[in-house]
Amino acid sequence: MAQSKLWRFLRDKVGLHGLGFILSLLIIGFAVVVLYRMLHDLKFDQVWQVLRDKDPKAVIAAFVLVACAYLTLTLYDFFALKTIGRNHIPYRVAALAGFCSYSVGHNVGFTVFTGGSVRYRIYSAWNLTAIDVAKICFVAGLTFWLGNIAVLGLGILIHPEAATAVDQLPPIVNRLIGATAIAGLVGYIIWVSMAPRKIGRANWYVILPAGKLTLVQVGIGILDLSLCAAAMYMLMPVSPYIDPISLSVIFVTATLLGFASHAPGGLGVFDAALLVALPQFDKEELVGALLLFRLFYYIVPFALALTLLGSRELLISLRSKRLRAAEAGAPGSGAAGAVKAPHTPDAAE
């Protein structure tokens, strides 16, 4: 009874958004405490030595895997565009919007808002509305979560002990969670296969992909997460041995905790989860692996995305100036005869 009253008070006075914000702060605060306890005696000179001693082949392989993961991320937007019927948008535009929105969102945090803003800036040049962009964000998010459920569910079923290292729940409970996740995923696929399913109302609705397309959607999510986990695996210390499936479970769980915190790049939360779940590894070696992964997955793509977005804005500005200059110099370009050139997307967009 007391718990229900507390819940009603929090829901009515604080609001669900406020509760989410409080939860994010609690996750970040807990992660900061864990990081301090585990890393207060970290030897930075040894971390630097670990970075210098890394096998160049493993580092290159990790970088290539991250690049492939970002290439897969571009399919999130391309698939979403096809789902909402915006087939006139070419892949290059979807790739630019997908890459830049995720690169910025991963680093700034609050991906739904930051990534959505980047998407709108790019897609609005192709006559897509804010509602269209919201639909794209929804379908892309659905792809992400379906992939997470598949990878995490299967991984926990096979190696429940790996999840126990993060959530501290008994392996049998984690195996039950994994089985429930897979059952839910299968049930969802059957549900969308039986008849067209519409989510939303009025002007804001999305017809969910049917069964076969949902399998493609799940496959995109699985490929993305698998490539990221494989990149982390390549950067891990050689010993002690950890199997790829166990690391994938730990990696995805840590990623989701970082996502829930809304911290930029899951900073602190993702790292703390991995450090807690992998105590068998030397701290300096694990921190070195995390630093390289952050460099490849966060910093390099973020810098590239800012460069691409800045170059795009510069090209658009230069083109607008040329159009205005051409209109000003054209015969009959006075106030009465001026004709505004129609907007047509070009390579810059």
Unique residue bearing structure tokens 């129609």: 342
Q: Which helix (H) or strand (E) holds 253?
A: helix 244-261
Give pairs for 7-11: CB < 8 Å, separation 24+. Answer: none
Which tokens is 343 given?
């907007």
Q: Which residues pair with residue 200 across a beta bridge?
A: 205
Give percent of the chain above pLDDT 70.
82
Residue 25 has pLDDT above 70, yes or no: no
- Which pLDDT score, from 0 to 100, does residue 313 have? 86
What's the whole-number mean pLDDT along residues 17-44?
61
Unique residue bearing structure tokens 């040329």: 322
Residue whose C-alpha is closest to residue 78's, from 122, 136, 39, 162: 136
Locate the domains of the chain by residue range: 12-322
- Which pLDDT score, from 0 to 100, does residue 268 have? 75
Which tokens is 111 given?
């991906």
Q: Are 128 and 86 in contact (CB under 8 A)?
A: yes
- Which pLDDT score, from 0 to 100, does residue 337 have? 43
What's the whole-number mean pLDDT along residues 274-282?
88
Higher confidence at residue 331 or residue 90?
A: 90
7-11, 165-169, 241-245, range with the lowest pLDDT: 7-11
- What is the residue type of 1? M
Higher confidence at residue 130 or residue 16?
A: 130
Q: Are 272 and 34 in contact (CB under 8 A)?
A: yes
pTM, two decimal places:
0.81
Query: Mean pLDDT over all residues of the chain?
Result: 83
Higher confidence at residue 24 or residue 119?
A: 119
pLDDT for 283-325, tens place per residue? 888 889 999 999 999 999 999 999 999 998 888 888 877 777 7
Higher confidence at residue 15 or residue 198?
A: 198
63-72, 136-145, 193-202, 210-219, range with the lowest pLDDT: 193-202
Q: Are 295 and 59 in contact (CB under 8 A)?
A: no
Residue 194 has pLDDT above 70, yes or no: yes
Mention every residue, 6+ apart, whose C-beta is less than 8 A from residue 228.
Answer: 65, 66, 69, 251, 255, 297
**Can you tell me the distance from the alpha carbon of 199 to that of 208, in angstroms, rounded to the nearest whole number?**
7
Residue whose C-alpha is closest to residue 35's, from 218, 237, 258, 195: 258
